[in-house]
Structure 1
Amino acid sequence: MKKTTLLIALAAAVGLLVGWLLFGNTDTDGAVVKDASGMADDHDHAAEEDAQMWTCSMHPQIMQPEPGDCPICGMDLIPAETGADGLDVDEFAMTDNAMALANIRTTTVNSGTRDEDGFVALSGRITENDEANTVQASYFDGRIEQLKVTYKGQQVKRGQLLATIYSPNLVAAQQELLTAAALKESQPGLYQAVRNKLKNWKLSDKQIDQIEQSGKVKENFPIYATVSGTVTEVMAARGDYVQAGQPIARLSNLSTVWADFDAYEGQLNQFKVGQDIMITSNAYPNQEFDARISFIDPVLDTQTRTVTVRATLNNNEGLLKPGMFVKGKIATGSSDENGQLTVPSSAVMWTGERSLVYVKSQPDEPVFEMREVQLGNRSGDRFIIVGGLEGGEEIVTNGTFTVDAAAQLQGKKSMMNQGQASGNDDTEKQDSEKMSPTAMEMELPPAFQEKLITAMPAYLELKDALVAGDPNAASTHAKTAAEKTKAIAQDGLGPMLESHLQKSIEMLDAIGTNENLENQRSHFVLLNENWVALAVNLDNVDEILFVQKCPMADNDQGASWLSKQKEIRNPYYGDAMLTCGSIIDSIQ
């Protein structure tokens, strides 16, 4: 009994000791009791939860609790920005220092389609003035014995000898003239009929008199230029047998030329014949040419949705050459009355299917939100906004991609992730089911293959321009590739082939009308998803093409491209990661 009592007392003592150890360092109010040094014996677990996280600037999905290297690309991790209280789910904030370093600028959305100087800007090129073109033809049948115009660009003056022709019919007509001349006293009607016959062959009275006076038949007759101009096409060769009316050469008087501009249908209400236009060219950047609109095409091009607006220019000094690219500025009245909203082209980002801008959602704070917008026609360096924005809203117009990168780092909606969580099962399933372009088998008709191969050099030049980081050259080569690709279209193509072709044309047009390098590279991703799928099904190419792929492009989904060289030159990152990628296939 005593032993049991002793055990109970011992257990109670142990319980009291444990209770003191667990709760003895807090007072009756639950406050933490500090030790003699004044430091709390406990530590804040909430601080651990808010500890600094580290991420990769190229792969914002990487989050680690301590600094180090990115497991994907090996770059040094950077501190990830923490969330901001009081913001909506799609909003994010940037620091004033980051705004200044990235030179981020914003602009308030206003109505109107004019640029900052009150002008509408158009792009075009110099062409020949068709009204000043002349075709020099033969007036009788015969064989060309001498040809004095032999190359394009040759200058010709009125009355200059173009060619000499041997004509059996003309020889016979001369013999008739000599016979009729001997009988002109008795048969004046016959004599006059023969002379008129020679005049119809463009022989002058002087030439006819010389034949009559000499009494000899001329075998070779000259053809003289009826106008002065520049040879734009030689249409015959020495020794050719030509018929009456057959062209020998085409001459163009380049003292006046046309400047043809492409205007979108939404701009047409701002133009009229007789309106002043100021024209500049890359060849003479410091010189302006004044002209007036002389013609507005009544027919709309259904492929480009544009109309030709033409101005006639004096070119007495020969400065403007057909084929030159020019820009025109036309002063127009304000279009505020139409209620159209416009934004600078630098504010818009494209993902291939969506057009995005960043809106400053709090006027006094650097807080932004991504917004999808619907674009109308382009007016110079501005886009008409059909939907998604309202007048008075403030948007980012400079440093747009820096703002997008900040959104990605904070896990917000951005150009690449559309605000989807990294663990979204549907997204992961969609990515896993994304078929490689090299795995698509299609049967390409022979005519289709021939035209696709013809368009390939322009595509390769576009790729090289993106590698070099030259948006202007990329735009030029994309336009050339688009023109050649549009010529491929034909009836009877299957739905898959037609889809790849049309999507390629859309992406080439988008790159050609875009001067933002990052946007061009985004469209190049979508272009290659369709272009490479077509190219790998070619039966025969002139030289081997390598299919190359960068696993980091397109937000780590990977993107491919074509190249004639084995050496990797990455068009998606340029100098930043020039050699990122590998050869995954070849076309021979």
Structure 2
Amino acid sequence: MKKYSSYILLLLAGLALGWWLFSPAESTATTEHTHSETSTEQLWTCSMHPQILKTESGDCPICGMELIPAEKGADGLTPEQFTMTENAMALANVQTTVVGDAEDAKGTYTLSGTIQPNEENNAVQVSYFAGRIEKLNVNYTGQTVQKGQVLATMYSPALITAQQELLSAVELKNSQPALYKAVRNKLKLWKLTEAQINSIETSGTVQEYMPVYATVSGTVLDKLVSEGDEVKKGQALLKISNLNTVWAAFDLYENTLGSLEKGQQLSITTAAYPGKTFEGTVAFIDPVLNNTTRTVTARVTLNNKENRWKPGMFVEAKVQTANTTTETLTIPASSVLWTGKRSVVYVKVPGTQPIFEMREVTLGPKLADSYEITSGLTAGEEIVTHGAFTVDAAAQLQGKPSMMHQPKAATENAFSLENEQSLKVAPKFVAQLEEVYKAYLPLKDALVNDDSAKAKASVSQLKSAINAVDMSLLKQSEAHEIWMSTKRELLDQLQQFQQKVDLKEQRKLFIPISENIITLAQTFGATETAYVQFCPMADNNKGAYWLSDETEIKNPYFGASMLTCGNVAKTITSK
């Protein structure tokens, strides 16, 4: 009995020791404490850049706004944004680049084309009489032939009959000279030479086999018959081309038609002669668009006496655009995704985390391996240049706007002077906006003076003034949001304006530009008095506004034709 009691005591002692050594109490308490700390930890975010999440309060590293408390469980993303893991990006080899001016492509774009035979020098060698080809002296395409060379020997029953008629007519030469002459002319029409006809007359015998002579010199491009073939009168035997000159034919897309004209000089290169450039002049631009490829063919005639150019060779041509001074925003062609009429890219949101959002862009001409961007992006933004389809797939899986899932556009109210509200902001910010207003006035004045070139040139100054505004001076989220959205619209509109040379198109774009400038002046104020002026006849009698520093009406929408049309709709007093 004592023995069993000892065993029981030892077992109880072991259990007690194990409980003491491996008790989860401390671990549980620690875990609960950790969870409690985690659940109560406050995150801070920026109202304008919700991808920013900080564990402490402070200022936004992007815009300088004061951070606000983030809601619990917030992922810090806007409805348009989504994330990818570093591993997913590495596996898909997703690469990004910063948008900027492409110095190598600025002012030029590349056309692709091929070398083709000059159709003006093409000829078809035909048979002028029916018969059978007994011997063909052209054995392969690419063979060079000379005018007068024997191409083939033919047996022709019709020609034998014609020779017999000639021999009969010779006997009646004196009594029926007209008949004799007609028979000789018949043989001449069948391309027999005077020497051949005289030989038949002199010998008094019929030639069963008649040679066919080349009527032109050149290179055989196509052999259409073989020995033993029966051919009809007028049937094609060979296609021959003189390759002393050739055509370089290039395909022009619709958006590049305006930058190329007949007589323009092109720099042509080919992989066959690396490092060499050949100059050529545009000799012809097809007046009809190919509905299948949506291209127009432009031709350059090239000298080929050295037999350098071979039909079928690929060539490229550099085209100098008319305007090389305008700032051109370009992106790699690999970054663009197309769906219907939409062109989209994926923008990487600034920050350490891989956060992306889709952006619709408007493309200009293709420049080398890049596209010119007329709207949708600004210099300095980072976009996906490799792996865009993978990023798009990630957006679709997360239910975000993507190439195939177009977000519904928000309904916007028409511009009205009554829609704007006034916000109190830092005087320094208003002073910086005053520089924007001053830079806007030369653009307005150029349109008043009907000077499209000066209007286009003044855009750069206005863009610089807008980019110089320090948005970190805005501490209110509402003010910050208005400034950022208006700034983006203005820069897009000004970039489009720089692509226009027609005064009518410039004035059409000046309407939304003016509306955005007026929005800034009404919302944030001005350091000097400004006047909102209105012309009821502008924009096809819909009416349009503009901002002026004087009460006198000088209409930018009509210029000299209706200079004083309009009135002062509102006065913005200085702050």
Q: Could you tell me the TM-score, scaled by structure 2's length?
A: 0.50
> Does the 8 Å CA contact 2:358/2:401 hold for their aligned counterparts?
no
1:344 aligns with 2:336: no
Distance (whole Å) between structure 1 residues aligned to residue 40 and residue 173 of structure 2: 120
SS, match of residue 43 in structure 1: helix
CA positional deviation for 1:245: 1.2
1:107 aligns with 2:99: yes
What are the equivalent positions in structure 2 for 1:55-74 lying under 5 Å apart? none
Query: Which of 22, 25, 33 is matched with 1:43 structurally?
Result: 33
Distance (whole Å) between structure 1 residues aligned to residue 303 and residue 317 of structure 2: 15
SS, match of residue 158 in structure 1: coil
Distance (whole Å) between structure 1 residues aligned to residue 406 and residue 364 of structure 2: 28
Distance (whole Å) between structure 2 residues aligned to residue 335 and residue 403 of structure 1: 36
CA positional deviation for 1:235: 1.7
CA positional deviation for 1:134: 0.9
What are the equivalent positions in structure 2 for 1:2-151 lying under 5 Å apart? 43-48=33-38, 88=78, 90=80, 104-108=96-100, 116-151=105-140
Would the alpha carbon gap of residues 248 and 173 (structure 1) be closer, same or farther in structure 2, given more than 3 Å must change?
A: same
Would the alpha carbon gap of residues 289 and 379 (structure 1) be closer, same or farther in structure 2, given more than 3 Å must change?
A: same
Residue 202 (structure 1) aligns with: 191
Which letter maps to 2:207?
A: K
CA positional deviation for 1:48: 4.5
Query: Which of 146, 162, 166 is matched with 2:155 structurally?
Result: 166
Per-residue Cα deviation, 1:18-71 (whole angstroms, up to 9, x for no partner) = xxxxxxxxxxxxxxxxxxxxx9998342554599xxxxxxxxxxxxxxxxxxxx
Per-residue Cα deviation, 1:232-262 (whole angstroms, up to 9, x for no partner) = 2222222222222111111122232222222
Alignment RMSD: 4.5
Distance (whole Å) between structure 2 residues aligned to residue 189 and residue 229 of structure 1: 39
Would the alpha carbon gap of residues 106 and 145 (structure 1) be closer, same or farther in structure 2, given more than 3 Å must change?
A: same
CA positional deviation for 1:369: 4.4
Residue 221 (structure 1) aligns with: 210
Per-residue Cα deviation, 1:296-347 (whole angstroms, up to 9, x for no partner) = 111112222211122222223333332233222211212888x997533133
Which letter maps to 1:174?
A: Q
Query: Which of 331, 344, 348 is matched with 1:356 structurally?
Result: 344
1:249 aligns with 2:244: no
Residue 279 (structure 1) aligns with: 268
Residue 382 (structure 1) aligns with: 370
> Does the 8 Å CA contact 1:347/1:395 hold for their aligned counterparts?
no
Distance (whole Å) between structure 1 residues aligned to residue 79 and residue 383 of structure 2: 19
Would the alpha carbon gap of residues 286 and 255 (structure 1) be closer, same or farther in structure 2, given more than 3 Å must change?
A: same
CA positional deviation for 1:103: 6.9
Residue 370 (structure 1) aligns with: 357
Residue 302 (structure 1) aligns with: 291
Would the alpha carbon gap of residues 340 and 304 (structure 1) be closer, same or farther in structure 2, given more than 3 Å must change?
A: farther
Distance (whole Å) between structure 2 residues aligned to residue 384 and residue 135 of structure 1: 46
> Does the 8 Å CA contact 1:412/1:419 hold for their aligned counterparts?
no
Would the alpha carbon gap of residues 230 and 49 (structure 1) be closer, same or farther in structure 2, given more than 3 Å must change?
A: farther
Residue 316 (structure 1) aligns with: 305
Which letter maps to 1:43?
A: H
Distance (whole Å) between structure 2 residues aligned to residue 297 and residue 284 of structure 1: 28
Distance (whole Å) between structure 2 residues aligned to residue 202 and residue 401 of structure 1: 66
Per-residue Cα deviation, 1:131-180 (whole angstroms, up to 9, x for no partner) = 22111111112222221123222222222111112222322222233333
Distance (whole Å) between structure 2 residues aligned to residue 320 and residue 119 of structure 1: 25
Distance (whole Å) between structure 2 residues aligned to residue 406 and residue 222 of structure 1: 70
What are the equivalent positions in structure 2 for 1:508-523 lying under 5 Å apart? none
Distance (whole Å) between structure 2 residues aligned to residue 417 and residue 218 of structure 1: 76
Per-residue Cα deviation, 1:172-212 (whole angstroms, up to 9, x for no partner) = 22223333333434443333332222212211112222222
Distance (whole Å) between structure 2 residues aligned to residue 165 and residue 181 of structure 1: 25
> Does the 8 Å CA contact 1:139/1:201 hold for their aligned counterparts?
yes
Residue 180 (structure 1) aligns with: 169
What are the equivalent positions in structure 2 for 1:180-579 lying under 5 Å apart? 180-334=169-323, 343-349=331-337, 355-359=343-347, 369-376=356-363, 379-380=366-367, 381-383=369-371, 385=373, 389-390=376-377, 392=379, 394-396=381-383, 398=385, 401=388, 404=391, 413=400
Distance (whole Å) between structure 1 residues aligned to residue 389 and residue 229 of structure 2: 66
Which letter maps to 1:261?
A: F
Would the alpha carbon gap of residues 376 and 187 (structure 1) be closer, same or farther in structure 2, given more than 3 Å must change?
A: same
Aligned length: 346
Distance (whole Å) between structure 1 residues aligned to residue 85 and residue 230 of structure 2: 81
Would the alpha carbon gap of residues 371 and 145 (structure 1) be closer, same or farther in structure 2, given more than 3 Å must change?
A: same
Gaps of 5+ in 1: 1-38, 52-82, 421-588
Distance (whole Å) between structure 2 residues aligned to residue 195 and residue 294 of structure 1: 45
Query: Percent of aligned pairs with the same residue?
Result: 46
> Does the 8 Å CA contact 2:85/2:354 hold for their aligned counterparts?
no
SS, match of residue 33 in structure 2: coil
CA positional deviation for 1:106: 0.3
Larger-gyration structure (1/2): 2
CA positional deviation for 1:406: 13
